Structure 1
Amino acid sequence: MSALATMFSHAYLREAFLAGTFVALAAGLVGYLLVLRAQVFTADALSHVSFTGAFAALALGLDLRVGLFATTVLVGLGMAAAGRRAKPDDVVIGGAFAWVLGLGVLLLTLYTTRRSAGNGAASVTVLFGSVFGIGHGRAVAAAAIGLGVCLLLAIVARPLIFASLDETVAAVRGVPVRLLGFGFLALTAVAAAEATQVVGSLLILGLVAAPAGAAARLVGNPYRALPLSGALAVLSVWAGLTIAYLVPVLPPSFAILAVATGLLVAALLTGRLRRRSRRRSLAPGTDRVPAVRGG
C-alpha cells in the first residue's frame, strides 16, 4: 500500500500513464471496429509495418517516429486501395504482411551492422516498447495523437458501424463506404504506430484485439461495446503499469498484455456460462408455473 501511495511521485510513471491512457483508448476503439469489420488481421500486418518503418528510419539515421508513422499510414492506405470498397481481404493483407516483414528483417540487419553503435537499445524499444522510458514531450505527443484518433473515430463511428454491418445497404443509402474505409485504415495505422511506444510492434495485436474481443462477447450492441472496448484497453494499461511498477522484474508490455488477455479469457468464460444458463432455462421440463396473485 505504501508503494501504491508513492507511485505517482515518480515522473517516469506519470508520463507512462499519460501516454498509455490515450494510446490504449485509441487502440481499444480501433480494435472493436476491426473486430466488427472482420479485419483483425489488418492490425497484425500493420504492427509489422510499424516495425519495418521504424528500422527504415533508423537505418537512414532519422528519428524512428518518422518512418514509423509514414510507412504505416502509407501501407495502410495501399491495402485499402487494393481492397474492394477499401476493405482489403486476407490475400491482400497476407501479401503485404509477408513482403513488409521480409523488408523489415533486411532493414534490421542493415541497422544493427551499420548504425546501432550509437543507439543499441532502439531495436528492443521498437520490438517490445519502452513506456517507462518515454519522456515528457513524447508522452504529451502520444496523448495528443491518441486523443485525436479517438475524436475522429467518434465523428465517423455511426456511419462506419452502419457500413461495417451491411456495406451494401449503407452504400445504397448514400454512406461513403469506400471513403470511410480509407479513413478508418489510416486511423488504424496511426493507432498501431503510436501503440508501438507502449507495447512494441510485436505485441500491438494483443492490445488491439484482446479488449475488443472481450467487449464483443460481453455486449451485443455495437454502440455500447465500442466504448467498453476502449475502457477495457485503458484498464489493461493502468493495471499493467501498476503491476510492472510493483514487480520490477516484469516488463510493462508483458504486464499490459497479460491483463488484456485475462480480460478476454474472463469474457469468454462469462459468455459460455451465459449460454449454458440459457440452454438450461430452455430445456424441456424446466418451465415453471408462474405464481398466482390474488385473494
Structure 2
Amino acid sequence: MSTLFDFSDYGALLALVSHSLIAGALLGLVGGLIGFFVMARDLPFAVHGISELSFAGAAAALLIGADVVTGSIVGSLIAALLVGLLGTRARERNSVIGVLMPFGLGLGILFLSLYPGRSANRFGLLTGQVVSVDTPQVVTLAVVAGVVLVALLLIWRPLLFASVDEDVATARGVPVRTLSLVFMVLLALTVSIAVQVVGALLVLALLVTPAAAALRVASGPLAVSLLSMAFAVVSIVGGILLALGAAIPISPYVTTISFAIYLICRLIGRRGPRRADVGFRP
C-alpha cells in the first residue's frame, strides 16, 4: 500500500499540476453542461464512439510528432460529422457509431504500436495523465471550452426544444437538422479535450455520469445543468488531487468519484418523486 500512495511531497507535486487543475475545472464545466443535452438527446453511445476516433487522431498526431490536442480535435470532428450526417435517426445513428468505434480503436492501436517513444505517452491517451497538460495545451483547452460554452448558451432554447420533442420543433420551424449537426460538433470538441485529461476509454465518466446523477435529484433544465457541472468539476478536480500521491493514473479516481456521486444521488432520488422524466421540459 505504501508503494501505491505517498503524500510526503504533496505540496511540491501540487505545484506541478496547476495546469491540469485548470484544465480539469474547465473540462468539468463544459462536460457537465453538454452532458445534460447528451442525456436529453439520448447520445451516451455517441460520446464513446467519438472518443474512439478522437483517440485515433491523437495517436496519429503522436506518431508523426504533431500536436496531440489538434489530432484529437480533428479525429473527434470527423466522427461527429459522420454520425451527424449519416445517422439521421436513432437506429441509423447507433449503427454508424457501432461501425466507427472498432474502426477508430483499431486505428489508434495501430498508430500507438508504431510509435517509438515512451510507453507512458501511449498509455496516457487511453487512461489520462495527471501532468500531461502544459501551457500551450491549457490555452488550447481553454479556448475550446470557451467556444463550446458560448455556443451552447447561444443555442440553448432551440436546442432544448429540439431535444425534448423533435417533431413538434420541426413543425414550428426550428432548424432541427442544423442544430443537430452543430451540437455534434460541440460534443466532438468537448470529447477531444476530455481525452487529454481522462483518456479515451473513460470519457463517459465526465460527459454522462454527472448528468445522469443530476437527473436523479433535480428537475428543470437549469437545475440539472448546474448540478451536472458541479458533479463533473468535483469528479475531475478531486481525481487529480487524489492521483498526486498515487502511482496509478488519474482516471480510476475520476471514475470512482463520479460513480460514487451517482450512487448517492440515486439513493436520494429513491426517497422522493422520480425526476428523470421531468428534467427535459422546455
State the TM-score, normalized to the length of structure 2: 0.87
| Count, aligned residues | 267
CA change 1:47–1:175 in 2 (3 A) is: same
Q: 1:82 corresponds to which residue?
A: 86
Quick check: 1:229 aligned with 2:228? yes
Mapped to 2, the partners of 1:87 and 1:230 lie a distance apart of 29
Quick check: 1:208 aligned with 2:212? no
Mapped to 2, the partners of 1:87 and 1:58 lie a distance apart of 34
Out of 263, 270, 274, the position equivalent to 2:268 is: 270
- Note the alpha carbon deviations across 1:95-137, whole angstroms, 9 max, x for none: 221222233233333x2xxx323x4432112111113232223
Mapped to 1, the partners of 2:17 and 2:65 lie a distance apart of 29
Quick check: 1:167 aligned with 2:171? no
List alignment gaps of at least 5 residues for structure 1: 277-295
Q: 1:54, 1:126 within 8 Å by CA — same for their partners in 2?
A: yes
Mapped to 2, the partners of 1:87 and 1:57 lie a distance apart of 32
What is the identity, as a one-letter code, of the residue corresponding to 1:84?
A: T
What is the identity, as a one-letter code, of the residue corresponding to 1:17?
A: L
Mapped to 2, the partners of 1:64 and 1:86 lie a distance apart of 31
Q: 1:210, 1:264 within 8 Å by CA — same for their partners in 2?
A: yes
Q: 1:92 corresponds to which residue?
A: 96
> 1:87-166, aligned counterparts within 5 Å?
89-109=93-113, 111=114, 115-117=115-117, 119-166=118-165
Q: 2:25 corresponds to which residue?
A: 21
> Which of the two has higher C-alpha Rg?
1
- Note the alpha carbon deviations across 1:17-63, whole angstroms, 9 max, x for none: 11111112111112121111111100011111111111222333322
Q: 1:31, 1:208 within 8 Å by CA — same for their partners in 2?
A: yes
Q: 1:12, 1:135 within 8 Å by CA — same for their partners in 2?
A: no
List alignment gaps of at least 5 residues for structure 2: 1-6, 275-282
SS in 2 for 1:248: coil
Alpha-carbon RMSD: 2.4
Quick check: 1:35 aligned with 2:39? yes
- Note the alpha carbon deviations across 1:183-229, whole angstroms, 9 max, x for none: 11111111011011110111111111110100111112123212221
Mapped to 2, the partners of 1:238 and 1:10 lie a distance apart of 12
Instruction: Name the % identity.
Output: 34
SS in 2 for 1:131: coil
Mapped to 2, the partners of 1:139 and 1:66 lie a distance apart of 12
Mapped to 2, the partners of 1:8 and 1:37 lie a distance apart of 43
What is the identity, as a one-letter code, of the residue corresponding to 1:19?
A: A
Counting helix residues as a fraction of each chain, which structure ranks higher? 1
Mapped to 2, the partners of 1:48 and 1:92 lie a distance apart of 13
Mapped to 2, the partners of 1:187 and 1:8 lie a distance apart of 36
What is the identity, as a one-letter code, of the residue corresponding to 2:176?
A: V
Mapped to 2, the partners of 1:71 and 1:50 lie a distance apart of 4
Q: 2:49, 2:79 within 8 Å by CA — same for their partners in 1?
A: no
Mapped to 2, the partners of 1:49 and 1:138 lie a distance apart of 20
Range that drifts further, 141-150 or 27-36: 141-150
Mapped to 1, the partners of 2:65 and 2:198 lie a distance apart of 23
CA change 1:87–1:138 in 2 (3 A) is: farther
State the TM-score, normalized to the length of structure 1: 0.83
> 1:237-248, aligned counterparts within 5 Å?
237-245=236-244, 247-248=245-246
What is the identity, as a one-letter code, of the residue corresponding to 2:48?
A: D
Mapped to 1, the partners of 2:90 and 2:172 lie a distance apart of 18
Following superposition, the deviation at residue 147 of structure 1 comes to 2.3
Mapped to 2, the partners of 1:275 and 1:88 lie a distance apart of 34
